[in-house]
Amino acid sequence: MEEILKKAAETGTQFGLKLIFAVAVLVIGIKLSKWIAKIIVKSRSLSGLDEGVRKFIGKSVKIALYVLIIISAAGILGIPYASFVAVLGSAGVAIGLALQGSLSNIAAGILILVNKPFKVGDYIAAGDIEGTVSEIGFFATKIITIDNKLVSYPNAALSNTSVTDYTALGTRRIDLVFSTSYDSDIDTVKNILVNVASADEYVLSEPKPEAHLSNHADSALEFKIMVWCKSSDYWTVRYNMLENVKKAFDKEKIEIPYPKLDVSVQQIKSEK
């Protein structure tokens, strides 16, 4: 009995030491994995890549290191590597079947990073979502809307929809339509629109602003003004134009028509 207890104590001590060593490997290994992933992401060799690609590579390296650390810890505990790898493989197949949608998101995320229809920092529109891309992750792309909402858009859905990148070319054209009465002088209105646009510091001088009479509406002349600006200044220029054109029209006594209804009253005399 004493020998059995002694052997059990020795076995327990050995296993305890192995367990402590395995836990130490896990803790230290996880911290080292995070540190190595950060170094790789910030390395000069990846400095020329898009931010989204660098983050994706960093996460992939971190996951691969985690798997190696878990296998190493299992080996320390005496679990055969071959058996453990086989278990991981079987678990991977089962998880893969259960998470087919998630895997399609990962594949779509890789395609987005490779094809680069947009990158982190771009202002895009996809479906009914519009905003700035803040992160291209494994499963979803995070978009910050103009009213500061964070939207997680699944990569698979994003790769299967039409995406408009407003930032890619650096500049945008703004088209605005203003209505005036038929009594307005056409050349005067066009000059006012061009002068207002030219006076805005955020409007580009090249291509030059253009104003044209675009339509004879039922109760108004419609003028179209086209101005160019940097993509980042789009909303500033748009709001400036709407406000400053109204002020200029008021100053020059240019009438902005609004719907009117003429009512005529006819008196019918009754016969006696």
Rounded Cα gap, residues 32 and 86, in angstroms: 26
CA 143/CA 88 separation, integer angstroms = 34
Do 70 and 45 contact (CB within 8 A), yes or no?
no
Q: Are 229 and 205 in contact (CB under 8 A)?
A: no
Does the global pTM surpass 0.95?
no
What pLDDT is stored for residue 197 in this prediction?
Answer: 95
Cα 254 from Cα 184, distance rounded (Å): 6
Residue type, 81: Y
What is the predicted pLDDT for the residue at 216? Answer: 92
Query: Which pLDDT does position 139 carry in this prediction?
Result: 83
Structure tokens belonging to residue 266: 């006819």
Kindly give the confidence (pLDDT) of every residue in the chain, 272 residues in length, as a single tens digit, with 9 standing for 90 and above: 556 555 655 665 666 777 777 788 778 878 887 787 777 777 766 666 666 666 777 777 777 777 777 777 777 777 666 666 666 666 666 555 545 556 788 788 878 877 888 888 899 998 888 899 998 887 889 999 988 999 998 888 888 888 899 988 989 999 999 999 998 999 999 999 999 999 999 999 899 999 999 999 888 999 999 999 999 899 999 999 999 999 999 999 988 887 666 666 666 665 55
DSSP-based three-state secondary structure for 214: strand
